[in-house]
Amino acid sequence: MSRPVIEIQDLSHVYMAGTPQAKTSLREVNLTVEEGAVLALIGPTGSGKSTLLQHMNGLYTPQSGSVIVLGRDLADRVTDLRRIRREVGLVFQNPEHQIFERYVGDEVAFGPRTAGLSGGELTRRVRWAMELAGLDFSLFKDRPTFALSGGERRKVGLAGVIALKPRILLLDEPTSGLDPQTHEELLCRMESLRGQGMTMVMATHDMDDVARLADRIVVLDGGRVVFGGTSREVFARREALGAHGLEVPVTVALMQRLRERGWDVPRAALSVEEAEEAVAAALTGSRRRPTG
C-alpha cells in the first residue's frame, strides 16, 4: 500500500491578511497525495489551485492548518524549506519567464550546481534532465535561451526542475498555450515521469490531459475542496462539474451522449482507445438503455 507523501489538513490562506484588500484563497482544505500517484487539481480560475500548489513546496507556509510533506511539517521552524524545495519541484504556469541564464545548458545546470554537483556528474545530470524533457543535449546545451521558441522554453523550465531529481513534481498549467505538437510532446514526457514512479500534482484546465494522466482528481471552487475521487468517479459527475464551470473530456462527453440515446456504454471512457472499445462492444451487442 502506498504511503502519503503530502498530507494537508484544514489549510486556509488569506492574501494581504489584516488589510482592506484581504482575500481568502484557501478555506479549510484537506487532501492527501500518495507516493507514486498523479493528482489533478481542477477548478475555475481563482479557485485556489496555484496557491495550494505553492503550499506543497513551502513557498507559502500555513497560516492556519497543517501541511506535512515527506514527513516534515512545513510550519515547523526546524524544517529546512530549501531542502523541501529540492525534493518537491514546482514548475510554474509560465516557467519560461523564469529563465535567466544565457545558455540552455547553464540554465538546466543551475539547480544541480547550487546543490553541489560539478564536472562529469553535473554534465550527466544536465544531459539526463534535458533528454527527459525532450531537448536533445548536443543540439540545445549551447543554444541561447533568448532564441528558443515558447514550447522550447517551457521544456527548459521543466528540465531545470527535474534536474534536481525531485521526489515530487508540482506542475501549474503545464500545457497551457502550447501548440498541438508541443502539447503532445510534453504530455509524453509527463507520462514517462509517471512511468518511472514520479509523484505528480498538476493544476490544469485541460480535462483531456487530466483523463490521460491523473489517478485522482480534487475539484476546488472558492478556495474549498467541493468533491474528489478517482478520475473515472469525478468525470462521471458531469452535472456536478458543470455547476462549477467545468467540462468533461471529449471521450466522457461522447459516452454520456450515447447513453442518453440508449447505448449500453460506460459512463466514462478516459482514453480514445477505451471509447473505441466501448462503442465496438455496443455495436456487437444489444443497444438497450443502461440501467447503472
Q: Please give the pLDDT value at position 215.
A: 94
Domain assignment of residue 71, yes or no: yes
Domain with residue 115: its CATH number is 3.40.50.300
Assigned domain for 260 exists: no
- What is the reported pLDDT for 289? 46
Domain that holds residue 163: 4-248
Give the pLDDT of residue 287: 45
Structural domain total, the chain: 1
Confidence at residue 189, expressed as pLDDT on a 0 to 100 scale? 86
- Listing DSSP states for 205-216 in one string gives S-HHHHHHH-SE
With H, G, I as helix, E, B as strand and everything else as coil, classify residue 171. strand
- Does residue 28 lie in a domain region? yes
CB within 8 Å of 229: residues ≥ 6 apart: 216, 217
pLDDT value at residue 94? 76
pLDDT for position 96? 65
pLDDT at 3: 86
pLDDT of residue 175: 85
Strand partners, 39: 201, 216
pLDDT at position 95 is 67
Q: Which of 139, 41, 202 is nearest to 156 (CA)?
A: 139
Q: Coil, strand, or helix at residue 266? A: coil
pLDDT at 292: 44
Residue 10 maps to a domain: yes
**Spatial strand order in the sheet of 4-15:** 23-34, 4-15, 64-69, 72-73
Distances (CA, A) of 257 to 43, 89, 165, 211, 264: 23, 40, 43, 18, 11
Q: Are 273 and 263 contacting, i.e. CB atoms less than 8 angstroms apart?
A: no
> What CA–CA distance (Å, rounded) separates 224 from 244?
12
Domain membership flag for residue 284: no
What's the confidence (pLDDT) of residue 1?
A: 57
255 located within any domain: no
pLDDT (tens, 9 = 90+) of the chain, 292 residues, equals: 578 999 999 999 999 888 988 999 999 999 999 999 999 999 999 999 999 999 999 999 999 999 999 999 999 999 999 899 989 999 887 766 778 899 999 999 999 998 889 999 999 999 999 988 889 999 999 999 999 988 888 889 889 998 999 999 999 998 888 888 888 888 988 898 898 889 999 999 999 999 999 999 999 999 999 999 999 999 999 999 999 999 999 999 999 999 988 898 888 888 889 999 989 988 887 544 444 4
pLDDT value at position 133? Answer: 86
Residues 220, 246: Cα–Cα separation, whole Å = 11
Q: What pLDDT, on the 0 to 100 scale, is given for residue 142?
A: 95
Q: Which of 97, 103, 95, 94 is nearest to 145 (CA)?
A: 103
What's residue 99's pLDDT? 86
- Establish if 253 belongs to a structural domain: no
pTM value is: 0.88
